[in-house]
């Protein structure tokens, strides 16, 4: 019998992703000196910083082809997690900002894919795949890119807190 939580499956997966990205803050990468990993509050309340990761939920879509029969049946979903990597490079730096952004995205992806079973998100999902990055240029918030991570998981039809294989 699976353990039932009071935290949604989407949130538990987000916590796994956040914990893996926190390794970059702890200094596991010399190429990306990450200052912080944050999940914004509804009221905002954070300041853009150099080498900052902002993790937010993106669209959630039903995946009927991966539903499973049973009593109760298992419903499959794709949840996108947007991993925004912000760089606020100095105007005096001779390194192209794209080089910073590229390294930052690569390090974030490596932190998340830290094991051969990374896509299972500690047993909460059945698959995960990175989508194409979306680049952002300049402005007051700096340069960067969003790395979308699409995670596929199943839950019981009558209990969306219960993870199903």
Query: What's the CATH number where 95 sits?
Result: 3.30.2000.10
> 103 to each of 4, 68, 110, 136, how far by Cα in Å?
39, 40, 10, 15
Residue range(s) defining the domain that contains residue 65: 9-40+48-164
In the predicted structure, residue 1 carries a pLDDT above the cut 50: no
Instruction: Give percent of the chain with pLDDT exceeding 90.
Output: 70
- Mean pLDDT over 99-119 rounds to 95
Q: Within a domain: residue 2? A: no
Least confident of 47-51, 94-98, 120-124, 148-152: 94-98
Q: Within a domain: residue 85? A: yes
Report the C-alpha gap between 156 and 67 in whole angstroms: 10
Q: Within a domain: residue 108? A: yes
109 confidence band (pLDDT: 50, 70, 90): very high
Residue 97 confidence (pLDDT): 84
Cβ contact 164:74 at 8 Å: yes
How many independent structural domains does the chain possess? 1
């Amino acid at each position: 019998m699976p353990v039932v939580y009071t935290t949604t499956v989407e949130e538990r997966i987000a916590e796994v992703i956040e914990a893996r990205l926190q390794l970059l803050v702890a200094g596991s990468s010399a190429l990306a000196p990450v200052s912080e990993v944050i999940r914004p509050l509804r009221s905002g309340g954070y300041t853009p910083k150099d080498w900052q990761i902002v993790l937010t939920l993106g669209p959630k879509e039903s995946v009927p082809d991966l539903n499973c029969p049973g009593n109760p049946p298992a419903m499959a979903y794709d949840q996108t997690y947007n991993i925004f990597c912000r760089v606020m490079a100095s105007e005096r730096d001779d390194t192209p900002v794209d080089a910073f952004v590229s390294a930052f995205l690569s390090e974030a992806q490596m932190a998340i894919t830290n094991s051969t079973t990374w896509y299972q998100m500690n047993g909460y999902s059945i698959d995960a795949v990175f989508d194409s990055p979306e680049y952002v240029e300049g402005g007051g918030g700096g340069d960067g890119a969003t790395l979308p991570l699409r995670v596929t998981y199943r839950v019981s039809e009558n209990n969306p807190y219960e993870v199903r294989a």
